Structures are given as C-alpha cells and as structure tokens.
C-alpha cells in the first residue's frame, strides 16, 4: 500500500479539539538527578496533553485504550492519537482494532508525514447483510515519508486513505480495515522521531597501511523515546539505506542481527555498551570485528549526552568477540579525511588568497604562501585541498582555473582549465577538492555546460556524467567522505539544492566518476544562492521560498530539517562556508558587512569589509 502512518498532530488542526484518547506525559529527571530528583510518581490523575513542544525530548506520552461504549468517531480519533504515543510496540493502538485487523496491520511498514494532522471525515456505507459499518477518510498534504529502513525522503501531493470501522457483537466499535504503516502530522513527527547517523565504509575510499578507513554517514529516523539505542544498532546491522547502498560497505556479515528480538542495549556505569550478536558473526576475525565495533561506536557517538566510550561485541554463546574503545576506533575508522582544519580562507581586496588563523581569532588574515597569495593572478574564488598543501584559484574574470602549492616561492603555471563562456557569470564556479585530492568544478558556458573532474588537480579535465541533473550547475561542493556531492542547479529562473552520489565503479583512481541519483533536498526553496557542508550529513544553505525573503538554514542530506537552531539572521548573504566539524564557526560574505564569522553562542563578528568567497579546506 505504500508508505502510511496513522497518527495525530498536536501542533495542527486535525484531531485537535475532540480527542477521545487521553495521554500521560512525564518529564524525565535527567540531569536533575544530581539535585535530588528521585523517581517517577506511580500514582496521580491522568491529564490530557494538548501540545508537546518539540524541544523537550524528555517528555514521554502514553496512550489510553478505548473506553467502553466509545463512538466510531472517538475510536478513529483515539487510534490516531495512540499512534503518536511512546507505546513501544503499538499495543495500545492495537486495542482499537478488530482481532483480524490487528493480525494483518504492520505499523513498522513505513511512516507518512503530513503538513498537518490527518483529518478524519465520516463516509457511511451500508453492507449487504443490512448492518452498518462506518468508513473514515483520512486527508492531508504529504511532506515526507520514512521507509522500512528508516530512511527519510521529502514527498508532495495529497494523502487520501481510509479506515473502516465495524460494530462487534459486544456493541463496541473497532477498526477492521486500515492502511499499513503509520501517518502523522509534522509536529508529532518531530516529537516522536530523532535523526541519527549510521556509519558505513566508503566502497572506493582511500585506504592504505596504517590509514583509517573513510566512513560515510547514513542518516535515519528512529523513535526517540522507544529504546533508540537498540533501534539504531538494529538499523546499522541491517545495512545502509537504499540510496547510499551502492557506494558503501559494512563489515558486518550478511544476516547479522542482535541475538534475540527482546535484546535491549544500554550503557553501563563505565559508559560501555555490550552488543550480543546472532550466529552470523561468530567466526569473524579480530580485524573485521574491530571494524564492526568502530561502526557501532561512531553510530552511537551522538545518541547519548556523553556518547559511548567502549563497545563489546559478543558471539551468540555470550563469549567475547572483541572490545574497542573510542580511541582505538579512531585508528580504524575516520570521518572523511579524519582531520578538520580550523583555518578559513577568502579573497581579499587585492584579489589574493588569504588565510584566517582559526586558533587565534585576534590575528589578522595573511596572504597564503605561494603565487596565489602573492597576487600573481587576480582571483575571484578559490578552494584549498583538505591537507592544505595545494590551492585552486579561479581568475577574476572567471575564465581560468589555476592550481598552485601553498609553499613560499611556489610558482604558478598555465591554467589547468579554461572556460569559453562569454560573460563571467557563464564561466567557472568555485572549485571543490575531495578526500582523494581530486578537483571538481563546473563550467557554466551555456553552449557547453559541464561538471569537470581533474585527477589530483592536474591533467586533462574529465567530464562527469550527471544523467539526472536537469539544469545548469551553479555551485559544487564535495563531501569530506568523497561519496556525496552537493550542487546548486538552475533552471527556468529557479535554483535548487541537490545531493548526488559519486559513483567510481571502475575503482581506478585515475579514471573519472559519475554523479548519480541526484535528489532535491530543500524543495521549498526556489532560489538557492549559496551552500556548504556543515557536518557529516548536514548542510547550511542560503535561499528563499516563493515570494519570501532570503533566509539561512540547516538541511540534512535526506531533505529533513535537523533540530539544530538556524544560524542568526544575516542580510544580503552572497557566500557561506562551514566545516564538517560542527563546532567550528560559520563564515559568510555579506554585501553589507563583508567577511563575517559566527561562533556558537555568539553574534556575527565582522572580520574585514573588503573580502569575498570564504571557504574552509575542501
């Protein structure tokens, strides 16, 4: 039946106002335990909860079963409410169904997210035997779906499904036909679910003796209050999401799962997690087990306030398979290049490449060593290799691309690429380096628009095939993992942010690559003007909705909106730069204020008035 979810949105209209199901909410003591908060009360009146703020992740909501003699309208509305509760196995929701419907309904099939809660509308129908059933239509506007692998994907269009109720012999109304899965409004989804990154290894990532394997973040959504640690580890073991699957591998043998269906994972007093596995992993070697444990550690890093310090994997008989600490895992698996620079770069008023010392905020920007910092060629944009040994610069007119070392006295040869576009706006974009040391850039020449790749930043440019990109590429940013690429694509006066997979199926480092399975990840923005990677699976984007003003926001690579607060407002932003290390500041170019920087908990700080094109390495 596709992706469905049956639930109610406390923040929208929907079932609000005529609720038949009551819910209890308790706030967890959390950090207040240190101040003497004891245990949850086990008595007291139930109270109806009309709204659950998204920000309070400690609120638990429990559904109440149907009351005797409840009307058909109360039953369907109560069922919708029950599905937005924190009932682990949807047992309470099942009490609104007939025995037959309960056996065939699979709430884990998928989830549909609507702009607002589904609004039930009664549609009476007469059956052949003269008894009377009642059918309710569930209407709404779709904004996203979550599939059986927990992958989120933006959606659009009308949601129009139905549930049928029948009166049993005991005179009680129950639902006897309904869609598979669950459906709920966006605010309920934001309260019920949390986005977590799973980690896999890049299939064609950089490898070598003593070098950690590059990992790729695979964001998924799990229920926030229903044993999320166990949910996310099960999701990790079952493999990557369909979109990412062709470009990554997992160290877990096929069929590996937790030892039993009732296994529940948690940290002990040493911040250690023990993971009992089924027999599929019993005979793996120590090196493979270390890679498996590293995947678990990375996946659990941001799930708890303090993270996880150690993971023990167990065989099916309970014996130890291997143990790995956070420090040991860093030697096995890394995020992209494994190193994030604090330094930022931009083009100064003399059109030279300059560097800002990220470790000394009071130090003034200085020209980089080498020809690109000496003003040998006037520049309008640049990109710094991830090891900060090489830079690529686009000439002031946008026609030529130069590559030079960041070494004092380094010379600058002939351009490695020339555009034939007739105007600066029709020539080269800002380039981007991947983790392999390859250089990406788009040529916007209307007569021959192309995405190009230069192996190690040299040689003949290779045309990258982009079969699903419909429009002209206006900006290019490659993720640190080398598997994903972000593009701004313009068509018919509108520009969109798209994410694609980099396919290097030949495995030959000297060969080119294709960008496949591109998808729009900020569909409501009709004019995207700037973007940058801002985490393992997050980007910061500048743009505007139809008829709206410019705004800056974070988006996930799956198209969802992360819970992080949007950056402080900044007027007339032309460029934005962020690091995959989310603790480092944003850097932007504002037409009003020049180069500015935003650190966590602060306001935008002006660096220089006359500067353009800020970037981090990458």
Residue position matching structure tokens 């935008």: 604
Sign of the dihedral defined by the CA atoms of residues 400, 405, 407, 411, in that order: negative
Radius of gyration of the chain (CA): 27
Q: What is the pLDDT of residue 358?
A: 82
Burial of 550 (0-12, 13-18, 19+ CB in 10 A): middle
Is position 515 within any domain?
yes
Claim to verify: residue 452 and residue 489 sit in the same structural domain: yes
Look at residues 193, 227, 262 and tell me which one is the last residue of a structural domain: 193
Claim to verify: residue 91 and residue 238 sit in the same structural domain: no
| Prediction pTM value | 0.87
Is position 172 within any domain?
yes
Average pLDDT over every residue of 405-433? 95
In this predicted model, what pLDDT tens digit does every residue of 81-129 receive, in sequence order?
999 999 989 999 999 999 999 999 999 999 999 999 999 999 866 555 5
The parent domain of residue 108 ranges over 23-193
The model's confidence at residue 218, banded by pLDDT at 50, 70 and 90, is very high
* Partners of 450 in the β-ladder: 443
Is position 606 within any domain?
yes
d(C-alpha 26, C-alpha 57), whole Å: 11
In this predicted model, what pLDDT tens digit does every residue of 458-503 receive, in sequence order?
999 999 999 999 999 999 999 989 999 999 999 999 999 999 999 9
Look at residues 335, 363, 385 and tell me which one is the last residue of a structural domain: 335
Look at residues 165, 193, 221 and tell me which one is the last residue of a structural domain: 193
Q: What is the pLDDT of residue 359?
A: 76
d(C-alpha 165, C-alpha 80), whole Å: 13
Claim to verify: residue 295 and residue 389 sit in the same structural domain: no
Alpha-carbon torsion angle 249, 252, 256, 261, nearest 10: -100
The answer to whether residues 579 and 339 touch, using CB atoms and an 8 Å cutoff, is: no
Q: What is the pLDDT of residue 128?
A: 54
Give me 10's structure tokens.
């406390």
Claim to verify: residue 251 and residue 373 sit in the same structural domain: no
Q: Is pLDDT at 286 greater than 90 in this prediction?
A: yes
Give me 484's structure tokens.
């994903």
Give me 317's structure tokens.
């008989």
- E-strand spans in 271-309? 272-276
Give me 592's structure tokens.
């009003």
Q: What is the pLDDT of residue 125?
A: 65
Q: Which residues contact 397 (CB under 8 A, 6 or more apart)?
A: 380, 424, 427
Is position 14 within any domain?
no
In this predicted model, what pLDDT tens digit does every residue of 354-397 receive, in sequence order?
999 987 778 899 999 999 999 999 999 999 999 999 999 999 99
Claim to verify: residue 560 and residue 411 sit in the same structural domain: yes
Is position 16 within any domain?
no
Average pLDDT over every residue of 37-47? 34
In this predicted model, what pLDDT tens digit does every residue of 118-137 receive, in sequence order?
999 998 665 555 457 899 99
Claim to verify: residue 281 and residue 146 sit in the same structural domain: no
Claim to verify: residue 134 and residue 109 sit in the same structural domain: yes
Claim to verify: residue 591 and residue 459 sit in the same structural domain: yes
Is position 554 within any domain?
yes
The answer to whether residues 524 and 475 touch, using CB atoms and an 8 Å cutoff, is: no
Claim to verify: residue 163 and residue 261 sit in the same structural domain: no
Phi and psi based region of residue 574 (left: phi greater than 0; alpha: psi -120 to 50; beta: remaining): alpha
d(C-alpha 613, C-alpha 347), whole Å: 6
Total count of domains within the chain: 3
CATH code for the domain of 447: 2.120.10.30
- E-strand spans in 372-483? 379-384, 390-395, 400-405, 417-418, 432-433, 439-443, 450-454, 462-464, 472-478
Is position 169 within any domain?
yes
């Amino acid at each position: 039946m596709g992706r469905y979810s049956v639930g109610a949105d406390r923040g929208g209209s929907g079932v609000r106002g005529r609720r038949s199901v009551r819910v209890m909410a308790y706030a967890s003591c959390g950090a207040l335990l240190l101040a003497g908060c004891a245990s949850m009360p086990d008595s007291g009146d139930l109270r109806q909860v009309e709204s659950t703020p998204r920000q309070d992740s400690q609120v638990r909501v429990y559904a109440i079963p149907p009351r005797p003699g409840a009307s058909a309208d109360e039953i369907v509305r109560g069922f919708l409410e029950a599905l937005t509760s924190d009932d682990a196995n949807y047992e309470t929701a099942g009490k609104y169904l007939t025995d037959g419907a309960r056996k065939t309904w699979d709430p884990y099939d998928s989830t549909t997210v609507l702009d607002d809660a589904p609004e039930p509308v009664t549609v009476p129908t007469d059956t052949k035997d003269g008894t009377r059933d009642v059918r309710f239509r569930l209407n709404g506007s779709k904004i996203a779906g979550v599939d059986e692998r927990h992958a989120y994907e933006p959606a659009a269009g009308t949601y129009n499904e139905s549930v049928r109720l029948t009166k049993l012999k005991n005179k009680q109304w129950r639902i006897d036909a309904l869609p598979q899965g669950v459906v709920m409004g966006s605010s309920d989804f934001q309260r019920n679910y949390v986005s977590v990154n799973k980690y896999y290894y890049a299939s064609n990532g950089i490898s070598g003796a003593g070098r950690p394997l590059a990992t790729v973040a695979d964001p998924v959504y799990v229920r926030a209050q229903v044993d999320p640690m166990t949910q996310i580890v099960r999701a990790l073991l079952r493999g990557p999401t369909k979109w990412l699957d062709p470009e990554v591998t997992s160290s877990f043998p096929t069929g590996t799962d937790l030892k039993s269906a009732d296994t529940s994972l948690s940290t002990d007093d040493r911040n250690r997690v023990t993971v009992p596995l089924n027999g599929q992993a019993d005979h793996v070697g120590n090196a493979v087990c270390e890679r498996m444990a590293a995947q678990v550690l990375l996946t659990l890093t941001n799930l708890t306030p303090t993270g996880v310090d150690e993971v023990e994997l167990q065989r099916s008989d309970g014996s130890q398979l291997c143990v790995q600490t956070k420090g040991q895992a860093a030697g096995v698996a890394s995020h992209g290049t494994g190193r994030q620079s604090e330094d930022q770069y931009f083009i100064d008023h003399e059109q030279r490449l300059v560097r800002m010392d990220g470790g000394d905020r009071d130090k003034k920007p200085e020209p980089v060593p080498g020809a690109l910092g000496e003003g040998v060629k006037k520049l309008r944009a640049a990109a710094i290799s991830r090891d900060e040994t090489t830079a690529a610069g686009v000439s002031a007119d946008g026609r030529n691309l130069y590559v030079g070392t960041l070494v004092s006295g380094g010379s600058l040869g002939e351009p490695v690429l020339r555009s034939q576009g007739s105007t600066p706006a029709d020539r080269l974009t800002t380039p981007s380096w991947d983790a392999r040391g390859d250089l990406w850039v788009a040529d916007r020449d209307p007569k021959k628009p192309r995405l190009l790749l230069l192996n190690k930043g040299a040689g003949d440019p290779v045309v990258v095939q982009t079969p699903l990109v419909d429009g002209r590429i206006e900006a290019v940013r490659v993720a640190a993992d080398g598997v994903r690429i972000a593009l701004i694509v313009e068509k018919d006066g509108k520009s969109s942010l798209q994410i694609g997979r980099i396919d290097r199926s030949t495995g030959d480092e000297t060969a080119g690559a294709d960008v496949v399975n591109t998808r729009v990840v900020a569909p409501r923005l009709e004019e995207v003007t700037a973007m940058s990677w801002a985490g393992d699976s997050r980007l910061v984007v500048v743009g505007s909705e139809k008829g709206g003003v410019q705004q800056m926001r974070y988006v996930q690579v799956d198209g969802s909106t992360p819970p992080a607060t949007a950056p402080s407002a900044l007027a007339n932003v032309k460029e934005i730069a962020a690091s995959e290390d989310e603790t480092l500041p944003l850097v932007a170019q504002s037409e009003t204020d020049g180069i500015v920087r935003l650190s966590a908990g602060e306001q935008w700080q002006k660096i220089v008035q006359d500067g353009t094109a800020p970037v981090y390495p990458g």
